[in-house]
Amino acid sequence: MEASEPRFPFVLVDVAPDEVAVMIDVFFELGAQGVEERDQSTLQKGAAAEVVTLVASFESREAADAALESLDDDLHPRIEEVVGDGWRDAWKAHFKPFSLAPGLVVRPPWEAYEAKPGEIVLELEPGRAFGTGLHETTRLVARALAERAEELRGAVALDVGTGSGILALVALSLGASRVVAIDNDPDCIGVVVENAERNGLADRVAASTTDVADVAEQFPVVVANIEARVLVPMAPALGPRVRPGGLLVLSGILDGQEADVRAAYEGFDHVRDDRQGEWVGVVLRKRGG
């Protein structure tokens, strides 16, 4: 008898944009092998995402059923199955080389790209980590750094919530001498190291799960692309990591949340807000120095 094709189960839920990070953590705690984020902004450039659909893959139907039973009905949880294993690499067809900031291009390992004169090309494999660079929140930080590249040259930077390490690589490509990259997800650390190695930057990245409150250094440039509900309570720990006179770039902030984020960072002057779609990047300067 011919063997039947394998079936792979997925659990889908619908959440508000500011609930995405929490729900991703929940999925991994329930045993998910990976989580894909789908919203209108991934399909249409500049579109606002009122609802985000998270698609979590599980090793077996039993594991998916168990996860489904643990989820609140308000999330509209449901199961879909994909027959065959072509889905594993299907998403790669949509990840093409793209411009992250002026003069800075990101390409996945499976796509060739010939750099134009003066362009910097970073090779990135996101793995299970958040951060292809396609999301508006990442673009906001990358462009803020590119505009202030002079401050990065020769500096040591801190990347909080590093994910795939994309912003650490951006900082290094713009001239930072070293980047300390931290994330509370252990899976991200290996991804960061691999991406740094791909770009010949491994000796200039220190990646770990160190809590931001336990980081001993102060830095002239600090970035944190997380979300407002984390950035606000993190302020007492994150603020002191910025050297007096230093730059702090915050992202993952939905339109309307920026005032609360700015207010949480006492001792900082507001430089400007940058916007893309429904997302806001906040640029601050620490007083003193």
Can you give the pLDDT at residue 51? Answer: 85
In order along its 289 residues, the chain shows pLDDT tens digits of 345 666 788 899 999 888 887 888 788 888 887 788 876 544 334 444 578 899 888 888 899 999 999 999 989 999 988 765 555 555 555 567 777 888 888 888 777 778 788 888 888 876 544 555 557 888 899 999 999 999 999 999 999 999 889 999 999 999 999 999 999 888 889 889 998 999 999 999 999 999 999 999 999 999 999 889 899 999 999 999 999 999 999 998 988 999 999 999 999 999 999 998 888 999 999 998 6
Residue 242 contacts residue 236 (beta carbons within 8 Å): no
Check residue 208 and give its pLDDT. Answer: 96
| Domains of the chain and any CATH numbers | 7-92 (3.30.70.120), 95-286 (3.40.50.150)
The DSSP line for 13-31 is: EEE-GGGHHHHHHHHHHTT
Residue 33: per-residue pLDDT: 77
- Rounded Cα–Cα distance for residues 252 and 11 (Å): 25
Whole-number Å distance between alpha carbons of 94 and 87: 12
Query: What's the confidence (pLDDT) of residue 123?
Result: 83
What sign does the dihedral 247-253-256-257 (CA atoms) show? negative
Q: In this structure, which amino acid lies at residue 18?
A: D
C-alpha dist (Å) from residue 242 to 160, 219, 234? 12, 5, 13
What is the reported pLDDT for 41? 46
* Cα separation, 242 vs 281, whole angstroms: 17
